[in-house]
Amino acid sequence: MTLGGCVSKLIRVEHITKQFGAFAAVKELSFEVEKGEIFGLLGENGAGKTTTLRMLATMLRPTKGTAIMAGFDIMKDPEKVRSKIGILFGGETGLYDRLSCEENIAYFGHLNDMSRDKIDDRVKTMAKVFGMEEYIKRRAGKLSKGMKQKVAFARAIIHDPDIMLFDEPTSGLDVSAIRDVHEFIRTCKKDGKTIVFSSHTMSEVEKLCDRIAIINKGELVEKGKIEELKNKYSCDNLEDIFIRLVGVKSEF
């Protein structure tokens, strides 16, 4: 289903809810993301960020509500939605150690129905962009963490998706790797991709995002442009706003 009238809103999340038994991980969450925008999902661990992104990526099926991603409904056209999105997870890069970098990337290209020529072209281009030319033919298991990360970037965008989902992409990374991730997110934006980025690190959200949504215990607490929120709550940093809205984290 293509929604011609909503081209500028590339993502429209409508009352999305996910129930795991009696536990509601996400409750009635709604937000929209404009084309080319970086949208931040800010929340503590366990707030429902990953569950939300997994629903948007059609890995989990919402209990209620839906989302329209690049014109396709996640409930009705999950396959088409997946062809329009790329996703990058935090922590381990999740590459196949015994495949070469090129093969790792191409595998995802093939599974996204790209032709061999197109894949070869894209791999060549990305190898140049990410500086992977030297090791593109080497097996992924033999690379450094930083090199692996670049392969994971390339793999996520091999099919040139309209939407990129980043699930805490910098968790557990060192400073230079974090910089690489931030740089990658900016590149995606420059390429016109629409980005949803989840994090619990205020500074990076503030640095990268155009707009944010703060979620707590699965519910939307606040959303808007960072500057607008700062004015609304008369605070000049996001952390104070977050603490005011979410409260002091009981785990600490």
Partner 1 sequence: MNFRHVWIVFSKEVKDILRDKKTIITSIVVPMIIIPLLSMIAGGSVQNMQNDIEQNVTIGLTQESNTAHIRELIKSYIIADFPNINLIDIEDPIEAINDSKVRIVLGVEENYKEKLEQGEPFVIEIIYDKSQTKSEGSMHIVSNAINQFNKKVIVQRLEKMGIDDKILKPVEIEQTNIADDEKTSLSMLAMILPIMIVILISAGGTAPATDLVAGEKERNTFEPLLTTKAGRSSLLIGKYLTVTLFSFVSAIASIFGMFLGYIIAPESITMGTGTQLSGFSLPGAAILMILIISVLMGMTFAGIQIALSTYAKSFREAQTYLSFLIIIAMIPGYATILMPPNEMPLYMFIVPILNTISAFKIVLGLNINYTYLTIALASSVVYVIISLKIAVTLFNKEKVLFRS
The residue ranges that bind partner 1 (CB under 8 A) are: 20, 57-61, 79, 82-83, 85-87, 89, 91-99, 103, 107-108, 110-113, 152, 155-156, 159
Structure tokens at 109: 């290209």
Question: Helix and strand tally (H, E) in the chain?
Answer: 9, 10
Nearer to partner 1, 197 or 242 (CB): 197
Least distance from partner 1 to the Cβ atom of residue 163, Å: 11
Nearer to partner 1, 16 or 85 (CB): 85
Question: Cβ(216)–Cβ(24) under 8 Å?
Answer: no
Structure tokens at 144: 């450094």
Nearest to 84 by CA among 93, 73, 96: 73
Question: Cβ(39)–Cβ(223) under 8 Å?
Answer: no
One-letter amino acid identity for 180? D
The single residue listed with the structure tokens 């690049």 is: 70
Sign of the torsion angle spanned by Cα atoms 133, 138, 139, 141? negative
Least distance from partner 1 to the Cβ atom of residue 157, Å: 12
Nearer to partner 1, 6 or 99 (CB): 99
Nearer to partner 1, 17 or 112 (CB): 112
Q: How far apart are CA 171 and CA 200, in angstroms?
A: 9
Q: How many CA atoms lie within 13 A of 117 on its CB side?
A: 0
Q: How far apart are CA 124 and CA 118, in angstroms?
A: 10
Nearer to partner 1, 172 or 247 (CB): 172
Nearer to partner 1, 82 or 223 (CB): 82
Least distance from partner 1 to the Cβ atom of residue 159, Å: 8
Least distance from partner 1 to the Cβ atom of residue 10, Å: 17
Least distance from partner 1 to the Cβ atom of residue 79, Å: 6
Least distance from partner 1 to the Cβ atom of residue 168, Å: 13
